Amino acid sequence: MRSFFAKFKFFGIVLLIISGVIISLFYNALQPKKILPVYQPAMVNFELVDSTLQHVKKYHTIADFALTNQNGNLVTQEDYRNKIYIADFFFTTCPTICPIMTKNMAGIQDKIINDNDVLLLSHSVTPDIDSVPQLKKYALEKGVKDSKWNLVTGDKQQIYELARKSYMAVKTSGDGGPYDMIHTENFILVDKERRIRGFYDGTKTEEMEKLLSDLEILRSSYKD
């Protein structure tokens, strides 16, 4: 009799475990799938958007570009074709938020170092000062890996237009002196279709955790 009840108890435990697994699978299947928004100019703080684009509600993508990286190599949108990437704007002599942003971007670099689908792109907002040798020096100091992360300089007007009209990441026109382009602390998550999928404060640790979480959601969307 005791043996019978022992077998019954074992059967009950197995049944309970199987039931738990089935319930968990059903729960996960019924959960809404996480999807990142596709940001349009009309969704972003108007101070960061060129006046010609503030009304745009769909089809916004990052424009073509041609800039020079820390190794003196031409970098264009073709280098980021079919890639997810994280972009920001900085300058090497910045004494305030840029060192924190660069440190946090280096932390992101460590997380994606073996992920062939994800790259980084940092634009200098003082291209007249940030020459190729200056960028190279900065890259070596900050641990930039050439295969993952381009620091780019080039025509100031092109960088300004990218910042205002594509990435929506600066507050001023950049038409005056070398330090007139007031950039934000934002990191911008860009998908393989060159659409913006997220903005993150590059000076905050918790925002970097959110960026990494959103990056995983975006990665997963290409696997389905």
Lowest pLDDT segment from 41-55, 93-107, 203-217: 41-55
Query: In which band, very low, low, confident or very high, does the pLDDT at 6 lie, cut at 50, 70 and 90?
Result: low
Question: Among residues of the chain, what percentage have pLDDT more than 90?
Answer: 71
pLDDT digits (tens, 9 = 90+) for 28-50: 444 457 899 999 999 998 888 88
Rounded to two decimals, the pTM is: 0.83
Number of C-beta neighbours around residue 90 at 10 A: 23
pLDDT digits (tens, 9 = 90+) for 174-201: 555 555 566 789 999 999 999 999 999 9
Instruction: Tell whether the model's pLDDT for residue 52 goes beyond 80.
Output: yes
pLDDT of residue 46: 86
CB-based contact 83:118 (threshold 8 Å)? yes
Lowest pLDDT segment from 33-37, 58-62, 119-123, 140-144: 33-37
Work out the mean pLDDT of the chain and round it to a whole number: 87
* CA gap 171, 16 in Å, rounded: 59
Question: Among residues of the chain, what percentage have pLDDT more than 70?
Answer: 80
* CA gap 29, 32 in Å, rounded: 8
